[in-house]
């Protein structure tokens, strides 16, 4: 084996190593890109008992847009049917029929892309002074209800937000994203 053979073999080894490193680097970049656009939806409730106001907000506190694929409400385990804000209105009538209040609702339709850091007030309730309901009383009533939102990242990764089991889980988890290196 002469110097020209050794030089040729060395060139092949270097090329194969460079190719392997490039493939590995490409996979790392893809993993990083997926994580850098991962949405994360959460609900947040707050109230002002002095004013009789109760709010529920939906927040995308992830790093990328959340594309909504399904938005459902249920009461005592049964789905509430309706178009637009009807399910929220029906839920409020069932839960707070003995109270006097005014409310504003929002509905997030299938296909809506909720931007990173975007907030949406899903529900705002203002109770009359005579209602005498506390934040704890409101939350006890809402404990019978569940909000489930299915959504995706722009990479097609599927997630679900469920207030019923207080989770925000990825569906069909990709072991590559969760592998520890």
- pLDDT for 7: 86
- pLDDT for 70: 96
- pLDDT for 9: 87
Residues 32 and 43 reside in one and the same domain: no
**CA dist., res. 3 & res. 151, Å (int):** 60
Residues 55 and 123 reside in one and the same domain: yes
- Given a cut of 70, the residues of the chain with pLDDT beneath it are 32-36, 166-181
pLDDT tens by residue, 17-38: 899 888 888 888 777 666 668 8
- pLDDT for 34: 65
As for how many domains the chain has, the answer is 2
Residues 6+ away with beta carbon under 8 Å from 44: 56, 57, 59
* Domain range for 3: 1-36
Closest residue by Cα to residue 112 from 103, 102, 122: 122
């Amino acid at each position: 084996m002469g110097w020209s053979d050794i030089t040729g073999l060395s060139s092949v080894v270097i090329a194969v190593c460079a190719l392997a490193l490039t493939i590995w680097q490409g996979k790392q970049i893809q993993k990083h890109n997926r994580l850098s656009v991962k949405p994360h939806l959460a609900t947040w409730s707050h109230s002002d008992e002095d004013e009789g106001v109760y709010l529920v907000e939906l927040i995308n506190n992830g790093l990328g847009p959340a594309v909504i694929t399904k938005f459902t409400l249920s009461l005592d385990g049964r789905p509430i049917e309706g178009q637009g804000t009807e399910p929220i209105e029906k839920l409020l009538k069932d839960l707070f029929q003995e109270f006097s209040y005014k409310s504003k609702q929002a509905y997030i339709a299938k296909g809506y892309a909720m931007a990173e850091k975007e907030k949406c007030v899903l529900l705002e309730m203002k109770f009359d002074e005579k209602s005498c309901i506390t934040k704890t009383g409101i939350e006890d009533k809402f404990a019978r209800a569940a909000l489930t939102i299915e959504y995706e990242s722009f990479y097609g990764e599927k997630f679900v937000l469920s207030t019923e089991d207080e989770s925000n889980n990825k569906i069909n988890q990709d072991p590559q994203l969760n592998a520890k290196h």
